[in-house]
A and B are shown apart, each in its own frame.
Chain A
Amino acid sequence: MSTSFVLNGASTTLDADPAMPLLWAIREVSGLHGTKFGCGMALCGACTLHVDGEAVRSCVMPLSSVAGKQVTTIEGLQSKAAKAVQAAWIQLQVPQCGYCQSGQVMSATALLEKNTAPTDADIDGAMSGNICRCATYSRIRAAIHAAAQSIKA
C-alpha cells in the first residue's frame, strides 16, 4: 500500500505499511537520517518535523496521516527563519552530543515562522516538548532570541 505526500518540496510516494510511524518511513524508506528516534511516544521531540508548517512528533504519526500533505524535515529547511535558527545555533555553539538538535531546530523554526518576537514564555511553550539530556537549554533560549533579532534586522 502506498502513501503520497510532498517531502521537502518533492512529490513522494512511499510503498510502506500505512500504520508505520512517519519517523521510520522518512528514515528507513526515504533514507533521510536527520530526524531522530528518542522515545517513540511523543515525549522527547527528537523526531520533530513539520507537517503543513506545524511542528509534530513523527514517531507517533502514522504514515497514512500525511497523505496529500507537505512534510519538511531538517534536510529540507529553506525558510528565512530556519536559516536564522541554524546560524544562531552555530554562533552560540548550542549542540553538545547533538542527537536532539535536529528536533530542537525544527521546533524553534516552527516557532519563529509564526512568532518573530517570542518571549521566554513563548519559548517555554514551544520548546518544552524537546528534551536535551546534555541540557543545552540556556543556549537554545539565547539562540532563539538571537535568531529572532537577526530576522528582524
Chain B
Amino acid sequence: MDDIANDPGLVLNAFWVTIQLAVLSGLASLVLGTLLAAMRVGPVAVLARFGTVYVSIVRNTPLLVIFVLVFIAAPTLDLLVKTPFLVKGVIALTIYTSAFVCEAIRAGINSVSLGQAEAARAIGLTFGATMTQVVLPQAFRATVPPLASVLIALAKNTSVAAAFGLAEATARMRGLTNNNADDRWLIFITFAIGYIIIVEIMSAGAISLERRWRVTR
C-alpha cells in the first residue's frame, strides 16, 4: 500500500514510458503501414511483392520474437548496439504494428470505388497524387474502426517491452508487486485502470474522427 499511496508519481512515471512507446510506435506504424499499403496496391510489381512478403512474414511472427530479434539478435550483428532501449522498443513495435496498419489501410483503399481512382488518373494525376488527393482521404474514413483496434492492440503490446528491460507500466507493476506482495490486488487494479484509461481515450478519439468525417461524405 505504502508505495502507490505515498507516491502516485510512481504509477504516472510507469505509464509515461508506456505512452511514449505507444505514441511513437503508433505514428511510425501509421507512416510505414500507409507506405506499405500504397506499395501493395501500386503499379510497381517489385514493391507490391515486397509489401505482400513483408506483411505475411511479420504478421506470422509473434511480437516477442520480433523483440528478441531487435534487442538480442541485432546487436550480435553489430546493429542497434548503442540505440537506447526506448528506441529499440519503438522499432520492434513499429515493425510489428505496421503490417497490421498496412492491411487495415488496404481494406480502406479497397472500399473506395475503382471509379474514384480512374477519374483521378483521367485528369492526369500521377499514382502518388491519386493516392494522396483522392483515394487515401476517402480510405482513411473506412479505416478508422479497424485502425483503432490495431492501435489499441499496440498500446497493450507495449507491455512486451517489460521483458526487455524497458521500465514501462507492466515492468513497474511487476517490481511493485514483488516489493509489496500484500497489495498486489490494489496494484493490479491500479495498473489495469491505467491501461483502460489509455484505451478509452483512443476509442473516444476514433469515435469523434468517425463522426467528424461522416458529415462531409
Query: Do A and B belong to a common assembly?
Result: no
The chain A residues found within 8 Å of chain B, CB to CB, are: none
